[in-house]
Homo-oligomer: A and B are copies of this chain.
């Protein structure tokens, strides 16, 4: 396999996956500390690409340099975080249950740890050319798990993807990893992705992108003779509750905060707050006024590419075409290539009647839903369940008046924010970037943070295995010095 290949035929895909399986069988045996060094070397090689990488991505995505420098930092940080996780070692969830020969029936010696699934296919996102793409969280977590990885390059930033692939190839060579531990394939047609998911050696799939794409890959994987796990992270409208007392006390500052979040990065975040829900009140009028004034001052900006801009224009037009929906912001005509921010408005009753208003409008857009009372607010909120995030802007008085809201929030989204904005996804052990369908295809996992590795592993139990034949993580004297569950006692 060359560094990057354009794949058009099924025999070529079979060859890629055979190579990936072959590499996997070697790579998974490499000890965790060497895998850690490999991940750190990938981070080093990405940094070594220097300005060429940043300039290439700027040209391909219209994203500003400061943003790309920040995203590159997050990407290398993620790789190093997984390296640290591998060196620390407890993530394998090792468990030891000693034999009890005198029990009736006799209890055998049983030991358990997590092992890698096999070759993983990664489909990156257009809006995060580094952090959710070629060497992003899916690739980093799968390589950390001990899986080989095949990245299907995103056509919107193909040159960026090739550069990152070259950095990984350099790290493979430097660290003497199996040659096809990572492979980078190109191919514009949807058939390429479908064939990769259906190939028998493929063991799991990570995807970040649209609902239609993520759902299609999930369906292909489920229909295989041997189904495989698919973690698709798809659209999200990230509903925000603006509670009465919070508006009463802080309408203007909340409006300013949210104007920033809605338009950050031209609204091109999966955690962009696209739905604001509030109860009619004088304070809400003040919120609207401040929000609209702030939004009207945001200059029109270039989106990632013309396709994204066209979809933004179409989706917001679809929303505004609903009779009951008003545009609160200025009617600035779109020029050929820039996106303007927009705040739509609808009543709770009309929102509930129009399914199309629940759909994500990817871009600097939000719809404010004005409800008559708390019951309608809850109805509206529940009707958009299945989210990456949901946010509650409220005071102690608000939460004392409605103690049920935080519990409700946990059924709606994977991350519940109080008095903050959902944009900005911190990378740490407590982060959950996931949520009920359709936010993702499996709410039991996260795509961000060290727990992202759990998507690519399965437990294996060793029964009555002599100590010298056990993996180090399970040996009696615990040579890796990791936290383990011993005889049912957590984390000895």
Which residues 126-177 in A have Cβ within 8 Å of B in the complex?
A: none
Kindly state whether residue A461 has any CB partner on chain B within 8 Å.
yes
Kindly supply a per-residue 1/0 record for chain A positions 432-454, scoring 1 wherever the CB is within 8 Å of any chain B CB and 0 otherwise: 10101110011111100011001
Q: Would you list 21 pairs from A and B whose C-beta atoms are within 8 A, ordered by A residue?
A: A97-B426, A97-B430, A105-B424, A108-B424, A112-B429, A115-B410, A222-B227, A227-B437, A228-B437, A229-B442, A229-B444, A413-B460, A415-B461, A415-B462, A415-B463, A417-B463, A418-B466, A420-B464, A430-B485, A431-B461, A483-B491
Most B C-beta atoms less than 10 A away, residue of A29, A95, A115, A413: A95
List 10 tightest A-B contacts by C-beta distance, closest first. A222-B222, A432-B461, A491-B491, A110-B430, A112-B430, A443-B458, A97-B430, A417-B463, A415-B461, A95-B430
- Interface contacts beyond A416-B460, A444-B459: sample of 20 additional A-B pairs, CB < 8 Å, sorted by A: A97-B428, A108-B420, A110-B431, A112-B430, A112-B431, A118-B411, A218-B227, A219-B223, A229-B444, A414-B459, A415-B460, A416-B461, A416-B463, A417-B463, A418-B466, A420-B464, A436-B458, A443-B458, A450-B488, A483-B490
Kindly state whether residue A419 has any CB partner on chain B within 8 Å.
yes
Kindly supply a per-residue 1/0 record for chain A positions 58-99, scoring 1 wherever the CB is within 8 Å of any chain B CB and 0 otherwise: 000000000000000000000000000000101000011100
Kindly state whether residue A353 has any CB partner on chain B within 8 Å.
no
Kindly supply a per-residue 1/0 record for chain A positions 92-120, scoring 1 wherever the CB is within 8 Å of any chain B CB and 0 otherwise: 00011100000001011011100101100
Residues of B within 8 A of A441 (CB): 227
Kindly state whether residue A399 has any CB partner on chain B within 8 Å.
yes
Number of interface residues of A (CB under 8 A): 74
* Beta-carbon contact of A459 and B432 below 8 Å: yes
Residues of B within 8 A of A416 (CB): 460-463, 465
Residues of B within 8 A of A407 (CB): 29
Question: Bound complex: CA of A134 vs CA of B490, how far in Å?
Answer: 29
Kindly supply a per-residue 1/0 record for chain A positions 211-227, scoring 1 wherever the CB is within 8 Å of any chain B CB and 0 otherwise: 00000001100110011
Kindly state whether residue A469 has any CB partner on chain B within 8 Å.
yes
* Beta-carbon contact of B418 and A485 below 8 Å: no
